[in-house]
Amino acid sequence: MITMSNHAGAVSELVEQLGRLPGIGRKSAERLAFHLLRVSEHEALGLADAIRRVRKDVRYCSACFNLSETELCSICSDPNRDKTRICVVEQPRDLMSLEQSSAYRGVYHVLLGRIAPLDGIGPDQLTIDPLVERVRKGNFVEVIMATNPTVEGDGTSLYISNLLSEYPVVVTRLARGITAGSVLEYANREMIADALTGRQKL
């Protein structure tokens, strides 16, 4: 049986790199490395190119911090979106879940995390200041808090709603159709639509 120990440095390096990915242990890393050696060069380099492109071309939207390949993301630059409603989510993947439900036509603000004192994450490390600035300058009538229904998500939501209390906007929270502990990422289309429809004033 061929083991990694008698392989070239390049292969060991690949195994090492793959093994750093979340959820990939040593055995899986080796399996993936062998797979990449077996497939066509075109296919293997396609993966390398995709990684290179995503790191080079994708950045955060300058308005909402969604992932974007342009200064403004496709949602912020869409003239058909309702620019009076802003939905606050923790991560770009939460935004994607909400988008897939097709139940929301407003714009978003991605916090890029949640306040988590135990992990040393304070409000300053999130995009809370730019959010307050947007609300101060914009013509928003409603801010919908769609942070996850966890202790930290709720805490973040409360912190932000306190900051926004001096502005003439209604702050609402997604209804608990999404049961506590579950996250937007895993919620299905109907659950998200229900949570949006049943949102309540915070």
Q: How far is the CB of 60 from Zn ion (least distance, A)?
A: 8
Residue partners of 26: CB distance under 8 A and separation at least 6: 15, 19
Say if residues 149 and 179 touch (Cβ distance below 8 Å): yes
Q: How far is the CB of 131 from Zn ion (least distance, A)?
A: 12
Q: How far is the CB of 157 from Zn ion (least distance, A)?
A: 20
Q: 71 vs 185, which CB is nearer to Zn ion?
A: 71
Q: 31 vs 81, which CB is nearer to Zn ion?
A: 81
Say if residues 145 and 202 touch (Cβ distance below 8 Å): yes
Say if residues 44 and 89 touch (Cβ distance below 8 Å): no
Report H helices in 75-150.
Answer: 92-100, 128-137
- Which positions lie near Zn ion, rule CB under 5 A? 61, 63-64, 66, 73, 76
Q: 18 vs 147, which CB is nearer to Zn ion?
A: 147
What gap in Å lies between CA 25 and CA 180, rounded to an integer? Answer: 30
Q: 66 vs 147, which CB is nearer to Zn ion?
A: 66
Q: 76 vs 135, which CB is nearer to Zn ion?
A: 76
Q: How far is the CB of 113 from Zn ion (least distance, A)?
A: 17
Q: How far is the CB of 83 from Zn ion (least distance, A)?
A: 11
What is the four-CA torsion angle of 15, 20, 22, 26, rounded to 10 degrees? Answer: 40
